[in-house]
Structure 1
Amino acid sequence: MSGCYCGNSGSFQDCCEPYIKGIKNAPNAEALMRSRYSAFATGAADYLVNTTHISKRKLHNKSDILTWSQANKWLKLEVLTSTENTVTFKAYFLDENLKAQVHYEHSNFKIENDQWFYVDGTFE
C-alpha cells in the first residue's frame, strides 16, 4: 500500500497508527477522523469506542463495530471540508456482498483535556 488508509501520503505506521496505538493524541478533529477511518480499515474497535465522546459511548457496541468494520473492504477516504470542530467526508467501501457503498457524513468533534473525541454526525 502506498500511503495510509486515511488517504495521506505517509505510511500507516507514521500517520494514523501512533494515534490508534495511543502513542500520540490526534492534534485536531480532521486527524482524529482520519485515524478513525484507518481504525475501521484495520479493525481497531477499541480505538473507535475510546475516541467516541463519553456522552455517546453507550450508543456504540464494540462487537458490532468490529463486525461491521471487518465485513467491509475499505477503499478510500475523501475529506470534503474541515473546520476546527467538524469534518465532512465520504468513505468508500465494498460491503459484505461486494457492492460499492459510500458513507457520506458531516461529523462533530469535541476536545477535552487535550484529547479529541467524535460526538455525532449527520448522514447525507
Structure 2
Amino acid sequence: MKNTKESSCPCSSGKPYSSCCGHYLDQNETAATAENLMRSRYTAYTLKREDYLLATWHSSTRPASLDLTGQPAQQWLGLTVKRHEQTAADQAIVEFAARYKINGRAHRLHEISNFVREGGLWFYVDGEIL
C-alpha cells in the first residue's frame, strides 16, 4: 500500500491513510483513545511495521520481536470494530474482528483487547481471542 493522502486507510475507517492512522505511524502522534490505537496497530500489521507494534505494546506483555517478515504472507481484508469501552480512567477494551487470507484461505480474528494508559499514552496489553 502506498502511504499517500489518496490511499484509503487499511483500518476500514473510510478516511484517507494520511488523516487517519498515518498520524500515528508516520507522524508519531499520540492516539487519543484505545480504539484509535487498536486501529493504528491493525494498520501497522498490514504494513509490517513491527517497530510501531512493539512500541505500542505494554512492557509487561511485550514480546522481544514479532518476526513479521518470517511469517506466511497475509493479505489483510478489513477490520470491524464491534465495541470500545472505557472500563476505568486509564483502562479500556476494544472488541474487533479482522479478516485476512493466507495462501488464498480466508481467516477471521475476533478478539477483545485490553488497553492501559500510562503517562498519557495508550498501550495494548493482551487480548482474548473469541
Q: What's the secondary structure of 2:114's corresponding residue?
A: strand
Q: Which runs of no fewer than 5 residues in structure 2 stay unpaired?
A: 1-5, 87-91
Give the distance between the partners of 1:74 and 1:87, measured in 2 at CA.
19
Taking structure 1 as reference, are residues 89 and 60 closer, same or farther at Cα in structure 2, changes over 3 Å only? farther
Q: Displacement, 1:116?
A: 0.4
**What is the aligned partner in structure 2 of residue 76 from structure 1?**
78
- Off by >2 Å, runs of 4+ in structure 1: 65-68
More strand by share: 2
CA contact (8 A) 2:112 2:129 kept: yes
CA RMSD of aligned residues (A): 1.6
**What is the aligned partner in structure 2 of residue 94 from structure 1?**
101
Percent of residue pairs identical: 37
Tell me which structure has the larger Cα radius of gyration: 2
Q: Displacement, 1:92?
A: 0.2
Give the distance between the partners of 2:126 and 2:83, measured in 1 at CA.
16
More helix by share: 1
Q: Under a length normalisation based on structure 1, what TM-score does the superposition of the two structures give?
A: 0.89
Q: How many residues align?
A: 120
Q: Under a length normalisation based on structure 2, what TM-score does the superposition of the two structures give?
A: 0.85
Corresponding letter in the other structure for 1:67: G
**What is the aligned partner in structure 2 of residue 67 from structure 1?**
70
Q: Which runs of no fewer than 5 residues in structure 1 stay unpaired?
A: none
Q: Which has the higher contact order (CA 8 A, sep 6+)?
A: 1
> Does 2:98 align with 1:111?
no
CA contact (8 A) 1:76 1:91 kept: yes
CA contact (8 A) 2:95 2:112 kept: yes
Corresponding letter in the other structure for 2:114: N
1:23-65, Cα deviation, whole Å (9 max, x unpaired): 21111000000000000111111000110001111x35232x3
**What is the aligned partner in structure 2 of residue 11 from structure 1?**
16
1:90-121, Cα deviation, whole Å (9 max, x unpaired): 000001x2100001100000001111000000
Q: What's the secondary structure of 1:13's corresponding residue?
A: helix
Give the distance between the partners of 2:64 and 2:75, measured in 1 at CA.
21
Give the distance between the partners of 2:32 and 2:119, measured in 1 at CA.
12
